[in-house]
């Protein structure tokens, strides 16, 4: 869990304590949400991600932090309490609470799974090889298949006559019961949406529920509906009114069944509220306020989960999520050097208070970093403000300067370096890339008005590792201006070769180096030719003498451009990266032995179906 694994039994507890201590310092009136994080091949479950969301204008998003539950809290809420919460929330949103659907685990699936177990094994104690499957079956059968596990309210936001309002509707299922998709995720991610009626958008047919013992002449026929808006909430189908098939349709058209939903479930005794996807920040804020009011009414703490709020410059956020061997904190942008220093200091202090640190010790006692990245994301308040989009030659200068000074790639990185690392240099195991890089540099220089998408096209296939992964590289431009992705056009460049150092001052020094380089090359672009280091790259610059000498040369170049940095500010980095093993004096000669660096050329990955 704290060496190589991404998930583990204690990480989420530590992450929750960390974000709760940071929130009062950085995010006044923030709401905390537990969301689904990244999901990588070979990992059965997706990772989690805890976010703090707050308003830029200072207005609180969530008034009472005591109503936000954590993994350390205990409560005794049950499914019936979740149902009452969902109904009260529906009323608060001016929606008929009768539209709340009880959600059940899929009886047919779990009976089938039980039937496949050995004859002398009960489901609650199934000796399955898959630990997660064992826990899943035991949990489901312990709570009972006949009992609902949560409540689901179909919900979306609509605009009528210039007014925004919440809209719900009746959900129909073949068995008149909503069975969830089997799994471990919150019920909001396991909704049987494919079981909802699909039909002509202007015509829906729904079979009536029939009593098999009723006389044949009393059996109702199939009901048919044409699309017609009705303002009466709680009608048989919200937005539809039963009419004769040959009757004229009048009124304004309505888009059909509500297919997004809010879910409430009692998990581990705590009420969890799952947000539906929303498309306006105002709607997310209003729903959040309604949830808090309902929690206050019931006197229960809640955990917010589900879809993240829509992206909006007026809502800021930072997050904490797991990564292999570490907990990763993604901090919101800073607008000044003072903000960077203050937040770095606070982060390290708060982490230490909750029992976390940015250092560890190897078996031989060597003091090293955690291996987690101290990645620096650079850009502007808006994509149009990004210095990399306003001046494409700035990216060229940064990449060229880093290439010609290998110490910048190795001095601040973790122990895992080389062509198969998370941030390989362009010239590590791909010598042909230098020719391509020079051609790209020429195109940037020749075009005075380079369109932003052109910069992405020039560098995308060069800034990649041996497998073509554009994220595993020193300079990552996935979010600079990718014309194929709306989320990739943010004007951001991420530098990934910094390891998280053990002290806040060392972290600030790394960021200062990046800021100085950006400022220097904004004034005067870096135009020196790229050096073919060949085998010298690892033969020399993984040794302390050559790395330190090259780093001092790099600082001297920045000084000539008007941005002097004292080499003594980086003495802790050199000592930490190349620790002394020992020394011995023989007559007039002194011999010193230090650790050097070791590149990893091949990483033997575990074979998977992918």
pTM above 0.85, yes or no: no
User: What sign does the CA torsion over 214, 215, 216, 218 have?
Assistant: negative
Which residue, among 93, 58, 109, has the nearest Cα to 273 in the 3D structure? 93
| Beta-carbon count within 10 A of 216 CB | 5
Q: How many helices (H) and strands (E) are present in the chain, helices listed first?
A: 15, 22
Give pLDDT, residue 112.
61
What's the full length of the chain, in residues?
610
Give pLDDT, residue 201.
47
* Average pLDDT per block of 10 residues along the chain, 610 residues long: 89 96 96 92 85 95 95 93 97 95 79 58 50 60 72 94 91 84 88 79 46 43 39 34 36 64 95 96 96 96 96 93 93 94 96 94 88 92 89 93 96 89 85 88 77 87 87 92 86 94 95 96 94 93 96 97 96 95 93 91 60
Contacts of 575 (CB under 8 A, 6+ apart): none
At residue 424, φ and ψ (nearest 5 deg) are: -70, 145
C-alpha to C-alpha distance for 305 and 51, rounded to whole angstroms: 10
Give pLDDT, residue 121.
52
25 Cα distance to chain centroid = 22
Per-residue pLDDT tens for 456-504?
Answer: 898 998 998 888 888 889 999 999 999 888 788 999 999 999 999 999 9
Give the containing element (helix H, strand E) for 532.
none
Give pLDDT, residue 212.
40
Got the DSSP string for 129-173?
A: S-HHHHHHHHHHHHH-TTS--EEEEE-EEEEETTEEEEE------
Under the phi-then-psi rule, with left for phi > 0, alpha for psi from -120 to 50, and beta for the rest, what region is 74? beta
């Amino acid at each position: 869990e704290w060496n190589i694994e991404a998930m583990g039994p204690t990480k989420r507890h530590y992450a929750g304590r960390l974000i709760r201590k940071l929130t009062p310092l950085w995010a006044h009136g923030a709401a905390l949400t537990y969301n689904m994080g990244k999901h990588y091949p070979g990992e059965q479950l997706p990772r989690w991600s805890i976010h703090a969301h707050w308003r830029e204008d200072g207005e609180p998003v969530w008034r009472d932090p005591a109503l936000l539950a954590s993994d350390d809290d205990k409560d005794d809420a049950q499914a019936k309490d979740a149902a009452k919460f969902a109904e009260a929330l529906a009323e608060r949103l001016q929606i008929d609470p009768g539209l709340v659907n009880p959600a059940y685990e899929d009886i047919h699936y779990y009976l089938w799974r039980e039937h496949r177990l050995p004859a002398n094994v009960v489901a609650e104690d199934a000796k399955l090889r898959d630990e997660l499957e064992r826990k899943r079956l035991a949990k489901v059968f312990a709570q009972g298949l006949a009992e609902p596990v949560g409540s689901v309210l179909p919900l979306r936001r609509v605009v009528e006559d210039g007014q925004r309002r919440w809209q719900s509707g009746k959900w129909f299922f073949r068995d008149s019961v909503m069975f969830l998709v089997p799994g471990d995720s919150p019920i909001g991610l396991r909704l049987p949406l494919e079981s909802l009626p699909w039909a002509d958008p202007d015509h829906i047919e729904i079979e009536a529920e029939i009593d098999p013992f009723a006389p044949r002449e009393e059996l109702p026929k199939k009901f048919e509906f044409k699309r017609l808006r009705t303002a009466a909430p709680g009608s048989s189908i919200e937005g539809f009114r039963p009419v004769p098939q040959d009757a004229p349709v009048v009124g304004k058209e309505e888009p059909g069944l509500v297919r997004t939903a809010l879910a409430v479930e009692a998990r581990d005794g705590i009420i969890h509220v799952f947000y539906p996807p929303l498309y306006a920040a105002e709607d997310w804020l209003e729903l959040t306020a309604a949830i808090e009011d309902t929690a206050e009414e019931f006197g229960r703490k809640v955990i917010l989960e589900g879809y993240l709020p829509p992206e909006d410059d007026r809502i800021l956020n930072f997050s904490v999520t797991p990564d292999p061997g570490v907990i990763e904190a993604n901090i919101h942008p800073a607008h000044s050097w003072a903000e960077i220093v203050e937040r770095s200091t606070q982060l390290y202090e708060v982490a230490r208070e909750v029992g976390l640190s940015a250092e560890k010790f190897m078996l031989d006692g060597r003091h090293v970093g955690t291996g987690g990245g101290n990645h620096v994301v650079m850009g502007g308040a808006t994509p149009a403000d990004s210095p990399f989009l306003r001046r494409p030659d700035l990216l060229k200068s940064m990449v060229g300067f880093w290439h010609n000074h290998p110490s910048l790639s190795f001095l601040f990185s973790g122990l895992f370096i080389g062509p198969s690392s998370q941030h390989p240099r362009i010239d590590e195991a791909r010598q042909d890339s230098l020719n391509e890089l020079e051609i790209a540099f020429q195109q940037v220089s020749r075009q005075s008005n380079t369109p932003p998408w052109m910069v992405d096209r020039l560098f995308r296939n060069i800034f990649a590792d041996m497998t073509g992964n554009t994220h595993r590289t020193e300079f990552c431009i996935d979010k600079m201006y990718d014309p194929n992705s709306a989320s990739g056009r943010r004007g951001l460049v991420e530098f990934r070769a910094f390891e998280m150092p053990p002290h806040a001052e060392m972290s600030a020094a790394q960021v200062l180096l990046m800021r100085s380089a950006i400022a220097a090359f904004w004034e005067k672009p870096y135009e020196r030719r790229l050096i073919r280091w060949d085998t010298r790259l690892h033969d020399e610059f993984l040794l302390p003498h050559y790395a330190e000498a090259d780093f001092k040369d790099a600082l001297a170049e920045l000084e000539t451009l008007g941005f002097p940095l004292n080499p003594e500010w980086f003495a802790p980095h050199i000592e930490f990266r190349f620790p002394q093993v020992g020394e011995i004096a023989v007559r007039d000669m002194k011999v010193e032995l230090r650790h050097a660096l070791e590149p990893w050329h091949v990483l033997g990955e575990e074979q998977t179906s992918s």
